[in-house]
Amino acid sequence: MYTMLKHGLVALALLGCGFAGNGGDPQPSFGPADSTNATIYIYRSFSNDARFVKAKVLVDGSEVATLANDRYFYLTIPAGHHIIVCNPKKSTVGVDVKPGTAYFVQIMMDSKTFTLNPAEAFLVQEDRGISEMSKMKAAIRFDLKADFAHTPSKY
């Protein structure tokens, strides 16, 4: 009995090794959603200090999401210049996007600086964005406020 239990636990542990990083979800693919719009991935890096505070994300003046710690979502958006603001009037990223291209915006929050600048948003290279987001979970649909903001269908 003990041997069967031991082998069962070893097998279970080995099965679990294939599910790392994003909570056992299949590895998402990050890239342009279609060829007629640009895709902007917005993700929030883990912060132990600000883990209970959601970052409000606005695009071109409209709220599109509230983003929890260690989560991401993406926008399908027409080509042109767009302004992304995190926690209104605190951190702004302007980006000129082209159709069929993916862009990555990282949000970092630090509770130690809430009174000065609660969040910082900046454009990052594709390889960095993909590497960091592949370890995260997608945002919950409830937190998305615009019809052009998306999360994988599972969420």
Ramachandran region, residue 12 (left: φ > 0; alpha: ψ -120 to 50; beta: rest): alpha
CA distances from 147 to 7, 63, 70 (A): 49, 11, 22
Ramachandran region, residue 89 (left: φ > 0; alpha: ψ -120 to 50; beta: rest): left
Which secondary structure element, helix H or strand E, spans residue 105, and what is its range?
strand 102-109
Query: Which comes out higher in pLDDT, residue 24 or 38?
Result: 38
* Residue 13: per-residue pLDDT: 37
Largest CA distance in the chain: 66
Query: Which pLDDT tens digit goes with each residue over 89-110?
Result: 578 899 999 999 999 999 987 6
What domains are there in the chain, each with its CATH number?
A: 25-150 (2.60.40)
Phi, psi of 13, deg, nearest 5: -65, -40
What is the distance between the alpha carbons of residues 93 and 91, in angstroms, rounded to a whole number?
A: 7
Query: Which pLDDT tens digit goes with each residue over 25-77?
Result: 444 567 676 788 999 999 998 877 777 788 889 999 999 999 888 999 999 99
pTM of the model: 0.74
